[in-house]
């Protein structure tokens, strides 16, 4: 169909742009071989010769390289440089962040996009351990000229070099090229436990809501966002996957499927278009090796009644209004400051907060402020 051709053209264009951006590499000339050997990451850096025959430019921007140790569970032999050069390049770029020196010591969970377009989620575990996409962070900060190394015990995306890709791998790769329109789904999926349910050898179809579909449920400035409740998010996302390879031209009017989370969907195939549970399906398939990707205009199984019931049970998830004062870019600090300022016995700490330049360091959310009398 024309839509399918257009979708393929978009993916191809995104891929071209992605490859052009990938030709800009961090300037690693300040990283000495003696240092990488001492850190036990010299094998990882030896793989960078795969770019030697490419037309690449060195960027002067700051960078972060997440470097797996030599004893990582995935060992990449040198012959892979010749047999799978593009896969090696992509794997390396997915361990680079260009434009910033990441600070994992901020004490909050962190998500960022690599030079290869993949999402990395860093989480704080028990006893202060940091985990990035399943790989443990063994050293969060090794500063080098114009950059920083973060040492890992394994690769971030070790499955990328396997011969037999899963549906999850192919879906993630396709969505990474289209992330400007499905970024919310990608972010929520990466933070959920849904991907653990997808088996390597099974086929699936996923119905991906667009960013605009999620935006409908986002409070304008403050209020309740249903996808701030992890259990609810897991349940909803799981029910956007079905263990079958469904194609739009084969769907019958009234046909039903049971989703991975146990809920049922009903398709309506009318002259006006194709719908799933009354939600419009974007016309056209995006097939991958072990399934299919379709896009929907609304989030399935979410309506005003469902959100209201969820809100009643999760009042603690309400977000406060945005404060223009004293630090618009640091909402947590602003709310903490105003709350403490109302109590005279905290006058000293509020005075210190007022003069300390903390905003660049505590600009996000997810913090806890320990106060003493």
Q: Look at residue 277 and tell me whether its pLDDT is greater than 90.
A: yes
Q: Who has greater pLDDT, 184 or 368? A: 184
As a whole number, mean pLDDT of residues 297-310 equals 95
Q: Which domains does the chain have, with CATH numbers?
A: 10-162 (2.30.180.10), 167-313 (2.30.180.10)
The size of the chain, in residues, is 373
Per-residue model confidence (pLDDT) at position 4: 45
The pair of structure tokens assigned to 11 is 């993916």
Q: Who has greater pLDDT, 89 or 281? A: 281
Tell me how crowded residue 191 is: count the other CB atoms within 10 A of its CB: 18
pLDDT tens digit string along 26-49?
Answer: 999 889 999 999 999 999 999 999
Most confident of 93-107, 168-182, 333-347, 349-363: 93-107
Tell me how crowded residue 249 is: count the other CB atoms within 10 A of its CB: 9
Q: Look at residue 3 and tell me whether its pLDDT is greater than 90.
A: no
- Picking from 52-66, 89-103, 308-322, 329-343, which range would have the lowest pLDDT averaged per residue? 329-343
pLDDT tens digit string along 152-201?
Answer: 999 998 777 665 568 888 888 788 777 568 989 988 998 888 888 988 88
C-alpha to C-alpha distance for 28 and 56, rounded to whole angstroms: 13
Per-residue model confidence (pLDDT) at position 365: 66
User: If pLDDT is split at 50, 70 and 90, which confidence band does 5 have?
Assistant: very low
- Picking from 39-53, 86-100, 114-128, 334-348, which range would have the lowest pLDDT averaged per residue? 334-348
As a whole number, mean pLDDT of residues 323-345 equals 74
C-alpha to C-alpha distance for 25 and 63, rounded to whole angstroms: 9
Q: Who has greater pLDDT, 210 or 333? A: 210
H/E segment holding residue 298: none
pTM score, whole prediction: 0.53
User: If pLDDT is split at 50, 70 and 90, which confidence band does 18 have?
Assistant: very low
**Average pLDDT of the chain, as a whole number:** 83
C-alpha to C-alpha distance for 83 and 64, rounded to whole angstroms: 28
Q: Who has greater pLDDT, 236 or 17? A: 236
User: If pLDDT is split at 50, 70 and 90, which confidence band does 12 have?
Assistant: very low
């Amino acid at each position: 169909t024309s839509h399918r051709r257009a979708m393929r053209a978009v993916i191809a264009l995104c891929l071209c742009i992605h490859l052009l951006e990938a030709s800009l590499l961090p300037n690693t000339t300040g990283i000495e071989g003696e240092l990488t050997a001492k850190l036990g990451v010299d094998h990882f850096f030896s793989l960078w010769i795969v770019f030697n025959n490419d037309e690449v430019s060195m960027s002067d921007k700051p960078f972060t390289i997440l470097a797996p140790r030599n004893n990582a569970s995935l060992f990449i032999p040198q012959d892979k440089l010749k047999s799978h050069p593009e896969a090696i390049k992509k794997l390396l770029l997915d361990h680079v962040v260009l434009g910033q020196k990441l600070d994992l010591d901020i004490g909050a969970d962190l998500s960022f996009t690599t030079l290869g377009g993949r999402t990395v989620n860093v989480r704080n575990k028990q006893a202060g351990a940091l985990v990035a996409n399943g790989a443990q962070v063994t050293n969060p900060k090794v500063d080098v000229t114009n950059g920083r190394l973060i040492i890992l015990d394994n690769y971030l995306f070790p499955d990328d070099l396997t011969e037999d890709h899963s549906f999850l791998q192919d879906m993630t790769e396709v969505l990474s090229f289209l992330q400007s329109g499905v970024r919310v789904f990608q972010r929520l999926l990466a933070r959920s436990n849904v991907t653990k349910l997808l088996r390597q050898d099974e086929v699936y179809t996923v119905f991906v809501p667009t960013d605009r579909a999620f935006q409908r449920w986002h409070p304008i400035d403050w209020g309740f966002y249903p996808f701030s409740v992890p259990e609810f998010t897991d349940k909803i996302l799981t029910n956007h996957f079905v263990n079958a390879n469904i194609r739009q031209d084969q769907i019958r009017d009234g046909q039903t499927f049971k989703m991975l989370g146990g809920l049922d969907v009903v398709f309506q195939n009318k002259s006006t278009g194709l719908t799933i549970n009354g939600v419009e399906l974007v016309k056209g398939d995006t097939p991958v090796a072990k399934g299919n990707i379709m896009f929907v205009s609304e989030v399935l199984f979410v309506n005003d009644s469902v959100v209201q019931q969820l809100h009643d049970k999760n009042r603690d998830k309400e977000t406060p209004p945005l404060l223009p004062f004293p630090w618009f870019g640091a909402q947590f600090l602003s709310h903490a400051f105003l709350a403490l300022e109302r109590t005279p016995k905290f006058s000293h700490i509020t005075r210190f907060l007022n003069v300390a330049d903390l905003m660049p360091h505590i600009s996000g959310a997810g913090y806890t402020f320990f106060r003493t009398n």
